[in-house]
Structure 1
Amino acid sequence: MGADDKTISAEEIAKHSAKTDAWFSIHGIVYNITNYLEDHPGGEEVMLDRAGQDATTDFEDVGHSEEARKELEKFAVGKLEGYDPAASKAAAKPAEKASGGSSMLGVLVPVVLVGAAVAYRFIM
């Protein structure tokens, strides 16, 4: 059964939150990850923490490779009922802005520190 064949509610996903029966959704696709838990490179605990829930944010925060995304496709069992891709993208934008700001801070702090060190040396 492909992800396009069946619509699954969040309530149904929530019933599958055990090590012996683990599902989650990512970007509106529902996955039965029960048989992948032991093979997950990050450990089964990471996946079990999100079993029965939406795992989109966690999945994207890790920055999975294209290979990992293709591997995930094998476990698709349906589509999340009521999933709105536009709302999902809108919710992701503030996170992108926040990370952009923190990366700017990561550049700004060293520049200020180097400038302060040069000024200190010049004054002394």
Structure 2
Amino acid sequence: MASDRKVYLFEDVSKHSKTEDCWLIISGKVYDVTSFMDDHPGGGEVLLSSTGKDATNDFEDVGHSDSARELMEKYYIGEIDSATIPKKRAYIPPQQAPYNPDKTPEFVIKILQFLVPLLILGLALAVRHFTKKD
């Protein structure tokens, strides 16, 4: 690691969160693991799931080997400015889908939500037309 190391802002690192451009923050260091996506034993999705945050806990929880830690040096590109890392990630609750007891496919429900009011309106107009006195 060179003494003229680059320091990145969290905001800049978090933009690299795609299969073709993937950076991770682990233990205060920034790694460009893009070229490692296909070779990662757990698959590229594991790496992608650790983007946009400090991935230190994700990395440590797995219990990587010494050789994996040595391999990381190959992907090291700089340090993270720790003052720019958000202290807490905002919790966004998952959107609750409407209760669907009979497991009707979502698209059928959407079609029915659109068609039923139209059918009711059409029925009301037909009743009005045929019961109208001249």
TM-score when normalising by structure 2? 0.58
| Per-residue CA distance 1:68-111 (angstroms, 9 max, x = gap) | 0000110000001126xxxxxxxxxxxxxxxxxxxxxxxxxxxx
Find the aligned partners of 1:33 and 1:48 in 2 and give their Cα distance.
Answer: 10
Partner of 1:35: 35
Q: Distance in 2 between matches of 1:49 and 1:59?
A: 11
Give the equivalent residue in structure 2 for 1:15.
Answer: 15
d(CA) in 1 for partners of 2:57, 2:64: 12
Q: What's the counterpart of residue 51 of structure 2?
A: 51
Aligned to 1:62: 62
SS of residue matched to 2:31: strand
Corresponding position of 2:78 = 78
Distance in 2 of aligned mates of 1:23 and 1:44? 12
Worse-superposed segment, 3-12 or 51-60: 3-12
Partner Cα separation in structure 2 for residue 50 and residue 60 of structure 1: 12
4+ runs deviating over 6 angstroms: none
Aligned residues: 83
- State the alpha-carbon separation in 2 of the partners of residues 52 and 3 from structure 1: 26
DSSP 3-state at the match of 2:38: helix
Q: Distance in 1 between matches of 2:4 and 2:41?
A: 27
State the partner residue of 2:124.
none
Percent of aligned pairs with the same amino acid: 47
Q: CA deviation at 1:50?
A: 1.1
Which runs of 5 or more structure 2 residues have no equivalent in the other structure? Answer: 84-134
Distance in 1, Cα, partners of 2:35 & 2:3: 17
Bigger Rg, which one: 2
Across the aligned residues of Structure 1 and Structure 2, the Cα RMSD in angstroms comes to 1.7
Query: 1:4 Cα deviation (Å)?
Result: 5.5
* Normalised TM-score (structure 1): 0.62
